[in-house]
Amino acid sequence: MTDQSIQTLSHVYPIGSHVDERGHLLIGGCDAVELAAQFGTPAYIVAEDDLRARARAYVGGLSALYDDCDVLFASKAFPCTAVYRVLAEEGLSCDVASGGELALALRGGFDPARVYLHGNAKSLDEMRFALESGVGHIVLDSLHDVERLEAVAAELGVTQEVLIRVTPDVSGETHAAISTGQANSKFGFGLADAPEAIDRIAESERLRLVGLHCHIGSQLLALEPFTRAVAALAALGDFDVYNFGGGLGVAYQQTQEPPSIADYVTTLVGAAKAAVGPGKRLLIEPGRSLVANSTVTLYTVETVKRNVSTWVAVDGGMSDNLRPMLYGSKYEVAIASRMSGFDPARQPNYELCQLAGKHCESGDVIARDVLLDDPQPGEIVVTPATGAYGYAMSNNYNGVPRAPVVFCKDGNARVVVRRETYDDLSSRDVE
């Protein structure tokens, strides 16, 4: 294999992805077409080295700039035991937003002392589970949350360290559904209400307030709103811990150039050093930017139909990737055995296509207006950047079994979540 026969792919694909001399896509050294044959489609294919590289960029980048700091994996983005395990191995802490995510984080090997429980509607059972598990910190979201946690802590005879979530009235440019920093948000205490919560917890015998948290939104492609959020939090008083949440955006399409992890961390640390005094503990909790580009989804083309548009219908859709339906999110598409531009001798026949899912909703279109070169039934198509909020939001609509997760590294593939079976679909039935 000569150097010219291998193409490195754009930043949308996992780090280390290649196109080989036959024009096949390789993820983590594994041929995507062979992966599809071996594990079936749809399938989430994760490049383990990519996950680890981004984790190291976060942990190394933050700790190089700030002494007392920690990176929390916002595990809602990819709550799969194997992902928790890799990120625990890489030295991250963990953000969980429910009892279920907490159970998975513990199963994935996270030290409970390094887990932070979030949620605007934590149940009493979730609180008990967290306290009994020895979760290090709970992030409180409302006065009822304060009252209820205090009662559970008293019932169990423990004292719990907490942060409060503040809504800093800062919003970045993103989809309304994932914008959380604006004053009219279901999350957190507004700037005017935070002092009451701070005073209330100061009186508590069961809760110890160590700091403040904010998370202004997700898929943010500009850094300036983060700086404003840091300043807003700092103005609320002097605390030991500041958690500035997640939110850094990623590239779903080649034309998108989000800030790098290094630039993001540098900006946050600069803002923190300017706004809060020395000797503080600084936390961030990225989700999407840790995991999104680590993963591609493989599908098989089932049918191609031409009417007003060309509909290329595949064997998955809104059951494995809800984001196009929820947010109108856009994805790139390629044919995994004929990656574009690999063979200059071939005359391509590109056509504007709609990559349609298999579900019974007209809106179930994975990617609109994508150029594909004469796709045929049986061919494998790939959508990159599906690691965040794909598996996490997967579902069984139309009785479609959920897709497996396959980790690839150095040319070896291993299934870390198996495909669901038809029996799984009725496994909770009680007859």
Residues near ligand PLP (CB under 6 A)? 74, 76-77, 95, 118, 215, 218, 245-248, 285-289
CB 245 within 8 A of CB 213: yes
Check if 360 is active-site: yes
How many other CB atoms sit within 10 Å of the CB of residue 401? 17
Shortest distance (Å) from residue 330 CB to ligand PLP: 17
What span, in angstroms and rounded, lies between the C-alpha atoms of 44 and 79? 13
- C-beta closer to ligand PLP: residue 24 or 288: 288
Q: Which is nearer to ligand PLP, 74 or 106 (CB)?
A: 74
Task: Spot the catalytic one: 80, 214, 353, 360.
Answer: 360
Least distance in Å: CB of 40 to ligand PLP?
Answer: 28
Of 206 and 288, nearer to ligand PLP (C-beta) is 288
Instruction: In angstroms, give the least distance from the CB of 312 to ligand PLP.
Output: 29
Q: What string of H, E and C letters represents the secondary structure of the chain?
A: CCHHHCEECCCCCCCCCEECCCCCEEECCEEHHHHHHHHCCCEEEEEHHHHHHHHHHHHHHHHHHCCCEEEEEEHHHCCCHHHHHHHHHCCCEEEECCHHHHHHHHHCCCCHHHEEECCCCCCHHHHHHHHHHCCCEEEECCHHHHHHHHHHHHHHCCCEEEEEEEECCCCCCCCHHHECCCCCCCCCEECCCHHHHHHHHHCCCCEEEEEEECCCECCECCCHHHHHHHHHHHCCCCCCEEECCCCECCCCCCCCCCCCHHHHHHHHHHHHHHHCCCCCEEEECCCHHHHHHHEEEEEEEEEEEECCCEEEEECCCCCCCCHHHHHCCCCCCEECCCCCCCCCCCCCCEEEEEEECCCCCCCCEEEEEEEEECCCCCCEEEEECCCCCCHHHCCCHHHCCCCCEEEEECCEEEEEECCCCHHHHCCCCCC
* Min separation Cβ 120 and ligand PLP, Å: 9
CB-wise, 77 or 131, nearer to ligand PLP?
77
For residues 246 and 357, which CB has a smaller minimum distance to ligand PLP in the complex?
A: 246
User: What's the closest the beta carbon of residue 138 comes to ligand PLP, in angstroms?
Assistant: 12
The least distance separating ligand PLP from the CB of residue 285, rounded to whole angstroms, comes to 4
Q: From the CB of 1, what's the least distance to ligand PLP, in Å?
A: 37
Q: Is 421 exposed, middle or buried (0-12, 13-18, 19+ CB in 10 A)?
A: exposed
From the CB of 422, what's the least distance to ligand PLP, in Å? 33
Closer CB to ligand PLP, residue 19 or residue 388? 388
d(CA 261, CA 242): 19
Residues serving a catalytic function are 360
